[in-house]
């Protein structure tokens, strides 16, 4: 992953800085915060990887050419901001029947500490009258709109670029770098690219999480597309069998992946120097298309009959064993 490997050392420094700052929180919020950080630490096994949040400041290096410590500071700020917004999501999504694992008192207190660290991360670079704070407010408003209106407006059906609003604060990583390099004129164009990348990122998440979102009643881009293709309104409730039929029989992932591919074509037409960001988006498009192709190929295999299907699975799972048997037979 050329959009990740070159920045591993810088990223390790950013996560170490986050760990040091969270360690200073009063107990028990320091341990809760550190535990929360580990859930998203890119270097922890089985953690959730929010690559764009961590790496966006570093991906701006070609365009902005700032001192190395600035990118690390901006990445640290983005990580802390990510934790703050994820806690907000967890609190909003937690059930109100007393069965949630979320402790509102602890999580709200932790969120306030994180928000303070988030704000103060930028203060050394941007005085009170800086244009940066206009963008900070604007992205916060976008996040609020995205959270409140996505179910009602059905963004994926009516205006897909609006899907990116829930992740709008991530754009602070690129906006800050452009302002510090005196390239504010590029912010609008960069935000257009970012909105499209964040759309595909949400599509990836929604493909991964569709079962959980279906169970929770959460908005989901893939489920929105399935409802649209079935001629159902946004407030219709799909069953798991209906979704499975749409995905595995009708292969709704194929047009879903095509939307991401069209988005990538748009990104390639925008005049902006952000090769790592574009490469990251290409990785997501490839993954969606590979999944769609896998479903299509599985259907074709099944059409040849159950025996051929099971033989293909056997061959895939036991390729080394079969090759070894051929080798030993040839020795006899």
* Largest Cα span, the chain: 83
Q: How far is residue 230 from each of residues 61, 213, 247, 277, 288, measured CA to CA in Å?
A: 45, 19, 12, 34, 21
Instruction: Kindly report, residue by residue over 141-191, the tens digit of the pLDDT.
Output: 999 999 888 878 899 999 998 999 999 999 999 999 999 999 999 999 999
Residue whose tokens read 């989901």? 220
Instruction: Kindly report, residue by residue over 220-263, the tens digit of the pLDDT.
Output: 999 999 999 999 998 899 999 999 999 999 999 999 999 999 99
Integer Cα distance of 161 and 153 in angstroms: 12
Integer Cα distance of 273 and 180 in angstroms: 17
Going by pLDDT thresholds of 50, 70 and 90, the confidence category of residue 104 is confident
Residue whose tokens read 């500490």? 113
Report how far apart the first and last C-alpha atoms of the chain are (Å, whole number).
45
Task: Tell me the angle at which helices 306-317 and 319-331 cross, rounded to the nearest 10 degrees.
Answer: 80
- Alpha helices, DSSP H, located in the chain: 8-23, 29-40, 51-59, 61-64, 68-93, 104-122, 132-153, 155-158, 172-180, 187-208, 210-216, 221-229, 240-244, 253-269, 275-303, 306-317, 319-331
pLDDT value of position 86:
92
Residue whose tokens read 């597309």? 225
**Residues listed for the chain:** 332
User: Which two structure tokens, joined as six digits, stand for 18?
Assistant: 């986050």
pLDDT value of position 304:
57
pLDDT value of position 92:
83
CA torsion 133-138-140-141 (nearest 10°) is 150
Q: Which three-class secondary structure state does DSSP give residue 95?
A: coil
Integer Cα distance of 284 and 59 in angstroms: 16
Residue 136 has pLDDT above 70, yes or no: yes
Are 69 and 182 in contact, with CB atoms under 8 Å apart? no
Residue 127: CA count within 13 A, CB half-sphere: 1
Q: Is 43 left (phi over 0), alpha (psi -120 to 50) or beta?
A: alpha
Q: What values do phi and psi take at 236, rounded to 5? A: -65, 145
Please give the angle made by the CA atoms of 218, 145 and 134, to the nearest 5 degrees: 140
pLDDT value of position 231:
94
User: Which two structure tokens, joined as six digits, stand for 160?
Assistant: 């897909």
- How many beta carbons lie within 10 A of that of residue 156, not counting itself? 26
Going by pLDDT thresholds of 50, 70 and 90, the confidence category of residue 302 is low
pTM: 0.88
Residue 261: CA count within 13 A, CB half-sphere: 12
């Amino acid at each position: 992953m050329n959009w990740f490997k070159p920045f591993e050392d810088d990223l390790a420094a950013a996560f170490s800085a986050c760990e040091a700052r969270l360690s200073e929180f009063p107990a028990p919020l320091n341990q809760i915060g550190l535990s929360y950080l580990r859930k998203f630490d890119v270097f922890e096994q089985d953690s959730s990887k929010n690559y764009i949040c961590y790496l966006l400041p570093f991906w701006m290096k070609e365009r902005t050419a700032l001192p190395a410590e600035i990118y690390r500071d901006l990445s640290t700020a983005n990580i802390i901001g990510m934790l703050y917004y994820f806690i907000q999501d967890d609190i909003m999504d937690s059930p109100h029947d007393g069965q949630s694992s979320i402790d509102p008192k602890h999580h709200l207190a932790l969120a306030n500490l994180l928000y303070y660290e988030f704000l103060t991360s930028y203060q050394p670079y941007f005085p009170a009258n800086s244009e940066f704070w206009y963008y900070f407010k604007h992205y916060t408003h976008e996040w609020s709109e995205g959270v409140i209106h996505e179910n009602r407006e059905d963004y994926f059906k009516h205006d897909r670029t609006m899907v990116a609003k829930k992740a709008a604060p991530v754009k602070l990583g690129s906006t800050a770098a452009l302002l510090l390099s005196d390239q504010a004129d590029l912010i609008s164009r960069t935000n257009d690219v970012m909105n499209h990348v964040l759309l595909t990122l949400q599509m990836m998440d929604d493909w991964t999480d569709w079962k959980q979102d279906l169970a929770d009643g959460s908005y989901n881009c893939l489920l929105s597309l399935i409802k649209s293709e079935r001629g159902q309104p946004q407030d219709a409730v799909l069953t798991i069998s209906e979704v499975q039929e749409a995905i595995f029989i009708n292969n709704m992932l194929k047009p879903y992946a095509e939307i991401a591919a069209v988005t990538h074509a748009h990104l390639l037409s925008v005049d902006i120097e952000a090769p790592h960001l574009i490469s990251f988006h290409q990785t997501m498009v490839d993954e969606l298309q590979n999944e769609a192709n896998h479903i299509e190929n599985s259907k074709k295999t099944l059409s040849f009959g159950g025996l051929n299907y099971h033989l293909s699975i056997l061959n895939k799972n036991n390729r080394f064993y079969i090759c070894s048997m051929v080798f030993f037979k040839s020795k006899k």
